[in-house]
Structure 1
Amino acid sequence: MTKQRIVILGGGESGVGTALLAKAKGYEVFVSDKGKIKENYKKVLIHNEIEWEDEAHTVAKVLNANIVMKSPGIPDTAPLIKQIRDNGIPIVSEIEFASNFTKATIVGITGSNGKTTTATLTHYILKQELNVGLAGNIGDSFAKQILDKDFENYVLEISSFQLDDIKTFKPKIAVLLNVTPDHLDRYDYKFENYIASKFRIAENHTKEDYLIYDADDEVITEWLKKHPVQSTLLPFSITKKMEKGTYLDEENMIIAIDNNHIHMPTTNLALEGKHNIKNAMAASTVAHLLKIRKQTIRESLESFQGVEHRLEQVLKINKVQYINDSKATNVNATYFALESMDAPTVWIVGGVDKGNNYEELFPFVNEKVKAIICLGVDNEKLLNTFGAMVDTIVETERMSDAVKMAYKLAESGDNVLLSPACASFDLFENYEDRGRQFKDAVRNL
């Protein structure tokens, strides 16, 4: 029997992980990256005798594949992707490919915001009592973990791009946190295309599977009315009582599943802010479904320290608190950040605008923001939008300059908040690089 040939487009974490798993499962493997493959990944490919190329795609070598796994960063509109589809070659995501080689119980978490925090928190709770891996859009690749450890359970943080290329993938428990306009440049600027993409997390569900979702999110509830899913639904809400699901009763979170009610106090949650109560509700519902003890859930919620680059308190200098929220790559994430500010704030914002509408931020900017520092190659939209709202708005193109300017503008008792509401690729490698540069600049003040 001839070997199946898999071509992997993109030599990053998910690409190399898939290459290793595919080779172990008897595939002929070829990795092709239009950009430069990082040295550490090249070494892994060479060591495992996997054929690769970078800085170009050899089309003939790509089109003789039986199956193609593409990095989530490559858009469907790329000419090579169109050629692959025209040739009738199936394209899958790493999540789809890898899930065929594990019998683990999978928890899939998606949403425009909060998915890293919720996935990390869910994993943190589950690992107290279960054998569980954390993968997807976070940490080591899912494929590589299946090859190396094959955990009995996985928590996967899944982006809409990863969901676009699934066919049969089905998490036992799916979590949909929220849907707000994001990445519309990849969805023909149609919000409904992006919503449909998020809901693919439940498209292969049966009644045996669960969909946990935010019942306060109108986009989600309206979509479900028109496009019902087969899943057993477990909504969560901080505004209304749920017959089945999770809700807030004054200071208590109540999880109601199968006539079994669990009460959890929210007063001692380690993470602050309304949005984190929702993230805790989603994670706790998952934990309860997977039979984690109530006390373990409670203790985990009280000790979990949060995620780097997400409302991360960096340092206090001259009674000014510096906060790194570099992971806020869209307006809705920045909404939560500004909402949680309890002191006058110098706000550092900007980057690659993905078709942002800043209107929902206006009340917070009027109420809490004393100065704005624009940090991007093109700040025109920010200047036009916020120029009349604050006394001081300045432009910078380097993180060190932005932080020095913030230091000058902030007074005792203020906050300096990096919450860009935009992607980072104009001036930085990624949001982590942006967050690290912010922290370094703060420490160098």
Structure 2
Amino acid sequence: MLNVNDYHYKKILVLGLAKSGVVAASLLHQLGAFVTVNDYKPFEENPDAQGLLEQGIKVVCGSHPVELLDEGFELIVKNPGIPYSNPLVQGAVELGIPIITEVELAYQISEADIIGITGTNGKTTTTTLIYEMLDKASRNPLIAGNIGTVASEVAQKATSENTMVVELSSFQLMGIRTFRPHIAIVTNLYEAHLDYHDSWEEYANAKMNITKNQLESDYVIVNADQKELMDLISFTKAKIIPFSTKEFIQDGASIRNGMLTFMGEDIISLDEIVLPGAHNLENILSAAAAVKLMGVDNEAIRKVLTSFTGVKHRTQFVEEINGRKFYNDSKATNILAASSALNAFDEPIILLAGGLDRGNSFDDLIPSLKGVKALVLFGETAKKIEKAGTEAGIQTILHVNNVEDAVPAAYEISNAGDVILLSPACASWDQYRTFEVRGDIFIEAVHKLKKSS
């Protein structure tokens, strides 16, 4: 860990706990700051806050009082999940107090090079692929960010022998000042999280922050199939490495004659790649480009791509029961992600979908419902998705209470050869704390069904 003196004797507010807030507060305390932690959960129900108090850190719990700003903080480290519309955050902005997220701290203390991955969809798969490829090449990678351990915790252990592979959300990237990955990746960019961001422009600009501090010696890997994204990224000082699933690119990653290529060099035949779905080609191309820039040999890439079948909660094969294949795609929290999963299969699909109602319709899902033979719906959006399913011509549509009930219901109306796919097209928060919890409940229900079959 690099010795950072920037925070000695500074008054810093850590706003919101969860994993990132706990790590940030402890780290700043270790770096000599005067830390105050503010969390919405009451102190008596808040073991994280209790643990920080035992370290000698001041804690304020139960609300986010704007009056806290009277204490003269010089910096706020904000939990990414707390929106900028929060009155305390708005007050800090008006006072000109800098607001960062903990990934900024991670960058400042890390001895390791950083590969940062963002985009609307595909971040987790791309991050995991890069980690696995670097690992196969014995490059000592460390995985961090949204996908795993908090980045500023991983950074404390990182040395110059490591490479940090960090998945980054728009929420995190809004709170950076100096963060600079050696290699940045933008997998794609579609409308998302507009319940958090004020506008598409704010969302897109947050994503572009991944490259705003990069220099000529750095790289940014970008989806060349999206012209708007290529236009947005044109301001960067980094060397742009494009990738495309639609056309051959000599100076990037693409497909030629059924082969995955980088800088014109054939790496692996598409027939050898076991990860399903055309959408995953984008993730594979960007991951291969990143590790080739790091000097990884083709054999390490091939070893991963001939064995890697997906990450948990992202088109994850769970089990086959009497000829029915069950897939967990709980991480599909928007229409585009669900569409990508649906388009990955040629078999008849029974789709399990529904969740938090963010006010949008599901008209954009209709084209991808053509291969769906039945819908099993739950959550706040069940009626809206039923409407889209009816317009797509789906005859069999069931409503159930939750994911656990959806599994046996789907099995009852299925036939051998069907795919039973959980791909909700919605966030989980109407019924489940996280999409991971939702996916785990699906997996448990599938295993329970197999035992009883």
If the TM-score is normalised by the length of the shorter chain, which range does it land in?
A: over 0.9
Cα gap change, 1:429 to 1:288, in 2 (>3 Å)? same
Q: Report the AA paired with residue 82 of structure 2.
A: I
Contact 1:17 1:142 in 2 (8 A): no
Matched residue, 1:379: 382
Tell me the distance in 2 between the aligned counterparts of 1:102 and 1:399. Answer: 41
Correspondence 1:284 to 2:288: yes
Distance 2:83 2:253 in 1: 37
Q: CA RMSD in A?
A: 2.1
**DSSP 3-state at the match of 2:318:** strand
Distance 1:273 1:253, change over 3 A: same
Tell me how far apart the structure 2 counterparts of residues 400 and 99 of structure 1 sit (CA, whole Å).
Answer: 41
Aligned to 1:123: 131
1:245 alignment counterpart = 252
**Which residue, 174, 185, 188 being the options, matches 2:195?**
185
Partner of 1:415: 419
Q: Which of 280, 294, 306 is the equivalent residue of 1:302? A: 306
Q: In structure 1, how many angstroms separate the alpha carbons of the residues matched to 2:84 and 2:105?
A: 18
Q: Partner amino acid for 2:170?
A: S
Q: Deviations over 1:315-368 (max 9, x none)?
A: 2222111111001001111111100122111111111134545344323312x1
**Is residue 252 of structure 2 the alignment partner of residue 232 of structure 1?**
no
* Pairwise CA distance, 1:48: 3.4
Of 203, 207, 215, the residue aligned with 2:224 is 215
1:24-35 alignment, distance < 5 Å = 24-35=30-41
Question: 1:270-303, CA deviations, whole angstroms, 9 ceiling, x for partnerless residues?
Answer: 3121122221111111111111122122212223
Secondary structure, counterpart of 2:271 in structure 1: coil
Check the 8 A contact 2:8/2:31 in 1, yes or no.
Answer: no
Q: How much has 1:61 moved relative to structure 2? A: 3.9
Once residues 430 and 248 of structure 2 are traced to their aligned partners in structure 1, the CA distance between those partners, rounded to angstroms, is 44
Q: State the AA in 1 paired with 2:27.
A: L
- Whole-angstrom distance in 2 between the partners of 1:211 and 1:2: 34
Gaps of 5+ in 1: none
Distance (Å, rounded) in 2 between the aligned partners of 1:371 and 1:359: 17
TM-score for both structures, normalised by structure 2: 0.91
**Residue in 2 that maps onto 1:97:** 105
- With over 3 angstroms needed to count, the CA separation of the structure-2 counterparts of 1:62 and 1:126, relative to structure 1, is farther
C-alpha displacement at 1:50, in angstroms?
2.9
Q: Which amino acid aligns with 2:258?
A: E
Name the SS for the 2:427 alignment partner: coil
Which residue of 2 is the match for residue 113 of structure 1? 121
Structure 1 segment 152-163 matched on structure 2, within 5 A: 152-163=162-173
Aligned match of 1:206: 215
What corresponds to 2:267 in structure 1?
Answer: 263
SS of the equivalent of 1:241 reads coil
Does the alignment pair 1:364 with 2:368?
A: yes
Cα deviation for residue 98 of structure 1 reads 2.3
- The answer on whether the counterparts of 1:135 and 1:155 sit within 8 Å (CA) in structure 2 is yes
Residues 110 and 156 of structure 2 are in contact (CA less than 8 Å); yes or no, is this contact kept in structure 1? no
Structure 2 segments unaligned to the other structure (5+ residues): 1-6
Are the counterparts in 1 of residues 111 and 155 from structure 2 also a CA contact under 8 Å? Answer: no
CA distance in 2, matches of 1:393, 1:240: 39
Identical amino acids, percent of aligned pairs? 34
Distance 2:222 2:47 in 1: 38
CA contact (8 A) 2:267 2:302 kept: no
Q: Cα deviations across residues 99-151 of structure 1 (Å, max 9, x unaligned)?
A: 11223211110011110110111011112322321111121111112224446
**Are the aligned partners of 2:146 and 2:168 in contact in 1 as well (CA < 8 Å)?**
yes
One-letter amino acid matched to 2:201? E
TM-score (norm 1): 0.92
Per mean C-alpha deviation after superposition, the further-off stretch among 28-37 and 418-427 is 28-37
Aligned equivalents of 1:103 and 1:179: distance in 2? 30
Indicate conservation of the 8 Å contact 1:247/1:255, yes or no.
Answer: yes
1:153, 1:49 → 2: CA distance? 33
- For 2:447 and 2:93, the matched residues in 1 are separated by 50
CA displacement at 1:180 relative to structure 2: 1.1
CA distance in 2, matches of 1:16, 1:2: 19
